Chain A
Amino acid sequence: MTAADLAIVVDKLSRRFGKFNAVDNVSFDVRRGEVFGFLGSNGAGKSTTIRMLCGLLKPTSGRALVDGIDVGADPEGVKRRIGYMSQKFSLYELLTVDQNITFYAGLYGLTGERLARRRQFVLEMGGLKGRERALARTLSGGWRQRLALGCALLHEPPILFLDEPTGGVDPVSRREFWRLIDDLSAGGTTVLVTTHYLDEAERCDRVAVIHAGKLATIGTVAELKSVFDNRLLLELRARDPVAVMSALDQMPGVEKTSLFGTAVHAVFGSRTLKAEEVRATLEQRGLQVASIEPVAPSLEDVFLDIVDRESTKGAA
């Protein structure tokens, strides 16, 4: 792969606030046209990384190239090449749909024929035709989200940053939104998206997980799930899931238990154990088990596993 195929190159990037290492020696690449997911708990360093990549925050050390431009040296150059949309759907409530578009187009210096063409694009993409004169505050969540996305795309940026873009939006609109993201990616736009929703992360070409300022893992969703290849993941349903969890924690070979809704997920260090053996052990202790079966790991299992591993590493 040549450098021209890479939309974003992050090389040993760090940012300190006083004594606090918000981002600590992080390196990764994002390929052109890729949908790249950026996961992490709150305060893990996602936003700080994005703000550095957008040229808003100066790196303390390390380097990042966005569309070939060094973010530390030429933040203004970076800003011309990126689109940004945050969970706040930053629109002016007292302006109409059309006035919001005009304003954001003005920020990027769009005029004349190009402005007319891009305006048309945003209205069509957002399904906002016929609502040009509606005040932004009268739009529902889904429409606001699509208008905000449209405003971020007015200047046709090759790279798009989405910071938790689906917060507070209904499931149908979320689906619709991700369809738009796929279209953009197919059209060659690189998309870097942070999200809390792990089902959304499954739709990304590749995912990076950041924990306590450090890059914990990176790869395709399948690659990330491969950490479970030599382990056994059991899903149990029981009347008293909490009691089952504490019983499992006592059992040899159990690495981790966690609650998934009303079910319990238990991770075993090897695949030698059988589900029925576990059920027998639990029932010996007088615990009722309604069902127990091996399941394929979800991204949530992977995420919890990583956080767990990184936390013990940090404590050691």
Chain B
Amino acid sequence: MRRAWAVAIKELRQIRRDRRSLLILVFIPALFLFLYGYALNFDIRHVSLAVQDRDSTAESRAVTAAFVHSTYFDVTTEIATDADVVTLMDADRVRTVLVIPEGFAQKIRSGDTAVLQVIINGDNANSATTIVGYVDALLRDLSARMTAGNVRAIQAPIIGAAPRIWYNPELRSTLFLVPGLVAYISMITAVVSTAMSIVREKELGTMEQIRMSPMSNLSFVVGKTLPYLVLSQISALIVILAAMWLFGLPMRGNWGTLSLVTALFLVGALGTGLLVSTIADTQQVAFQAAMLIAFLPTFMLSGFLFPIASMPVVLQYITTIVPAKYFLVALRGVVLKGLELHEVWRPIGALVIYAVVVLGLSALRLARR
């Protein structure tokens, strides 16, 4: 192990001199989080809204006011004719139109169900669904207030659900996305940095020189990955802290459990980088292979953005070998739900298996002669 130590010391000295690598390893991840964190946000505010109020009563104005006060909508235009609706929607000047028909107030006062028309631009299905949700919530709230105001209003349904959302009561999409970002960013930096550092040694010929020495493959692998494990662990913690500070990610669980889960995930990621380096002979190939292996599955198949349950069955099976999937389950569990170590043993076990398999495969490939 003294030989592994010699490799680790050498690696740290190299990284320290190589400002660019150091920057990529420690600060770029935090920058990534910042950029992605703000760009990847499914919450929608300030939807442009046009209102056609054909009723012009206190009640109809109350509806418009409710839309404006919600901060979800900005009233940009008042519309006079139906033709205007088409013009504005076609030109994409507004994304939602609220039409309050004549006799709206009348119906409310007489106890009938008053119907509003809401036209939503459906070219982005995600945001359309979100807007429908906002409108629903807004009108439910409004009906309740009007009923309480002793006006006989819309009949309440006989069976009503009173949903309560746990862990993320405001349904902020960032709380769902940020753990995914942490996994995604850590995976890429860990895989790319290890793969590149080993392939660079191949290109320089130092790899061959090391193989001519009596050092075992195990010592080499340990010495080579240890510095990157420490650095990427630090980098992952910086990203997690930044996520708490910038995006209000809570920490409901135990820091020890979080560190353990992160470390296990990173060992697997470093092993993946090692495996890539045993296949690639140039830095260019290594970079492309590392991006392909680290980036695509982590982005598409980990449950980071797209729920695994809604994937085709074949893809669902493939996700079984994506380590980020398990890391995400454990990370969300610890951070959002405050789960203890014994409650996340399944994903932890999966991460251990992944790490053992990749490291074993790399050792086999290194031992070939």
Q: Contact residues of A with B, CB < 8 Å?
A: 54, 56-58, 75-76, 79-80, 82, 84, 86, 88-95, 99, 102-109, 135, 151
Which one, B3, B14, B18, B208, contacts A107 given CB within 8 A?
A: B3
> How far, in whole Å, are A91 and B207 apart by their CA atoms in the complex?
10
Q: Mark out the residues of chain B between 184 and 229 whose CB falls within 8 Å of any chain A CB in the assembled complex.
A: 204-206, 208-216
Chain B residues, Cβ within 8 Å of A135: 17
> How far, in whole Å, are A135 and B14 apart by their CA atoms in the complex?
11
Chain B residues, Cβ within 8 Å of A89: 205
The distance from the CB of B242 to the nearest CB of chain A, in whole angstroms, is: 29
Q: Is B142 positioned at the interface, with any CB of A under 8 Å from its CB?
A: no
Q: Is B140 positioned at the interface, with any CB of A under 8 Å from its CB?
A: no
The answer to whether B213 touches A94 (Cβ under 8 A) is no
> How far, in whole Å, are A103 and B8 apart by their CA atoms in the complex?
10
Q: Per-position contact with A for B10-27: 1 when CB-CB < 8 Å, else 0? A: 100110011000000000
The answer to whether A92 touches B205 (Cβ under 8 A) is no
> How far, in whole Å, are A119 and B69 apart by their CA atoms in the complex?
77
Which one, A57, A82, A84, A105, contacts B209 given CB within 8 A?
A: A84
Q: Is B363 positioned at the interface, with any CB of A under 8 Å from its CB?
A: no
The distance from the CB of A118 to the nearest CB of chain B, in whole angstroms, is: 14
Whether A106 contacts B9 in the complex (CB less than 8 A), given A91-B206, A94-B17, A94-B18, comes out as yes
Q: Show 17 residue pairs from A and B whose CB-CB distance is below 8 angstroms, ordered by the A residue.
A: A56-B211, A76-B216, A79-B214, A82-B212, A84-B209, A84-B212, A86-B208, A86-B209, A88-B205, A91-B206, A92-B204, A102-B9, A103-B6, A103-B9, A103-B10, A104-B213, A151-B209
> How far, in whole Å, are A103 and B208 apart by their CA atoms in the complex?
15
Chain A residues, Cβ within 8 Å of B206: 90-92
- A-B complex: 3 closest residue pairs judged by Cβ atoms: A106-B6, A88-B205, A90-B209
> How far, in whole Å, are A256 and B14 apart by their CA atoms in the complex?
55
Q: How many A-B residue pairs have CB under 8 A?
A: 74
Whether A95 contacts B9 in the complex (CB less than 8 A), given A56-B212, A79-B212, comes out as no
Chain B interface size band reads 20 to 34
Whether A95 contacts B14 in the complex (CB less than 8 A), given A106-B2, A107-B3, comes out as yes
Which one, A58, A90, A102, A104, contacts B204 given CB within 8 A?
A: A90
Q: Which residue of B lies closest to A99 (CB)?
A: B13
The answer to whether B6 touches A80 (Cβ under 8 A) is no
Chain A residues, Cβ within 8 Å of B208: 56, 86, 88, 90
Chain B residues, Cβ within 8 Å of A90: 204-206, 208-209
Known: A80-B214, A103-B10, A109-B3. 15 other contacts (CB 8 A): A76-B214, A79-B214, A88-B204, A88-B208, A89-B205, A92-B10, A92-B14, A93-B204, A104-B209, A105-B6, A106-B7, A107-B3, A107-B7, A107-B213, A108-B214
> How far, in whole Å, are A151 and B205 apart by their CA atoms in the complex?
14
Q: Mark out the residues of chain B between 229 and 245 whose CB falls within 8 Å of any chain A CB in the assembled complex.
A: none
